[in-house]
Amino acid sequence: MTDHLEPTLEADPLLTSLPVENNTNRAWALVKEKYVFGRHLACDVNINGATTDKAPVNDLNIEKAERCFRREADILRTIDHPCIIQFYDFFETKSAYYIFLELALDGSLFDHIINQGKLSERESLFFFYQMLTAVDHLHRLGITHRDLKPENILLEKTSSGDFLYKITDFGLAKIVGETSYMKTLCGTPGYVAPEVIFRGARSEQYTNVVDCWSLGVILYICLVGYPPFCEDPQIREEQVLTGHLYYNEEDWEGLSPKVFDLIQKLLRVDPKSRFTITQALNHEWMLVVLSINIYFIYVLKIYYFFTYRC
C-alpha cells in the first residue's frame, strides 16, 4: 500500500512556476487559481472538490508512465455517465502527470461492505442496476475496464439516502472494437475471469465479457460479505478455471434464488456462454428493479433514451 502525506495549503512549486505559453498552459493557470495543491505521494488526493492521480516519473519509466496516463485520460474523455467518475482535465509537469476527476466523498464499495458486513438484497439490486448500465455504456463505446472490484467503485449519497455508485480507475482499461480481442494478462486476483488466467498459460484471447465475470464476483460479495472463491492463490485459480463457487446454504437463506441464478450465469467459465451485460439487464432478478427507487431508475432510463435513441 502506498504511503500518503497529508495535503497542505502550500502550493506545489512545480505548478506555481509553470509558464503560461499556450492554450494548455493557460488552462492550467486557471486551474491553479481555482485549486490549492497539497503535496502527496500517491493517487486519489483530494483538492478542493476534485481528485488527481499523480505518479512519479523518472528516466526509466517515463515512456510507460506517459503512455498509461495518456491512455487513461483519452478513455475518460469519451465517457459521460452518472455511474462513472467524471473526468475534468489532464495536465503534466516535468515530473508528474495529473488527471483531474470528480470527487466522491462517501468512500468505496469495499469500505461500505466492510462497515456493513454485507448489503441487503434491495441495496444490492439497486447497486447492480447502476453497475450494469455503467458497464453497458463502456462496452457500447468499445471500452473494457478489466479491473472491476469493490475498491474501484466509489459512493455518493443521494438526497433519498440511497447511494449513487461510480466506477473509477481506468488504468487497465482498453478501447477495442466489438469483434476485437485482448491478450494482456492483467486485473486483480479474485476478480479475474478464467480466460485471462488461461491467457497467462496458453496465450488465449479474451473479450469484454471479462467485465461480466468481475461483476458476478462483486454481486456475490455484496450479498454474503465474502468472495465466491478461496483466498489461497492456487486453490482459487483451480476454482476459477473450473467454475466452482463456494455455496453455504445458510448464508443464502432469505435471498431470492433468482439472484444466485444470475451470478451463476455471469460466472460461467466459457466466455461464449457467459451472460453479457444486455442479458443481465434482462434477467428476471433485474426486472423488479423499479420497485427499489422508481425516481432514480427513471432518471437513468431517460439518460439512456436520449443517449442512444435520439
For the chain, domain boundaries: 13-102, 109-308
* pLDDT-wise least confident of 16-25, 127-136, 250-259: 16-25
pLDDT at residue 291, rounded to an integer:
57
Question: Are the C-beta atoms of 262 and 283 separated by less than 8 Å?
Answer: yes
pLDDT band at 163; cut points 50, 70, 90:
confident
Give this prediction's pTM.
0.75
pLDDT of the residue at 115: 95
Can you give the pLDDT at residue 32?
Answer: 61
Tell me what the mean pLDDT of segment 212-232 comes to: 95
Which conformational region is residue 14 in: left (phi greater than 0), alpha (psi within -120 to 50 degrees), or beta? alpha
CATH superfamily, domain 109-308, is Transferase(Phosphotransferase) domain 1 (1.10.510.10)
The answer to which of 23-32, 160-169, 208-217, 260-269 has the lowest mean pLDDT is 23-32
Round to whole Å and give the CA distance between 21 and 3. 35
Per-residue model confidence (pLDDT) at position 19: 41
pLDDT digits (tens, 9 = 90+) for 97-121: 777 888 888 999 999 999 999 999 9
Pick the CATH number of 13-102 from 3.40.50.300, 3.40.1260.20, 3.30.200.20, 3.30.450.40: 3.30.200.20
CB 17, CB 94: distance < 8 Å: no
pLDDT tier at 294 (50, 70, 90 boundaries)? Answer: low
Which residues form the catalytic set?
Answer: 147
> Which of these ranges, 6-20, 115-129, 146-160, 265-279, has the smallest mean pLDDT?
6-20
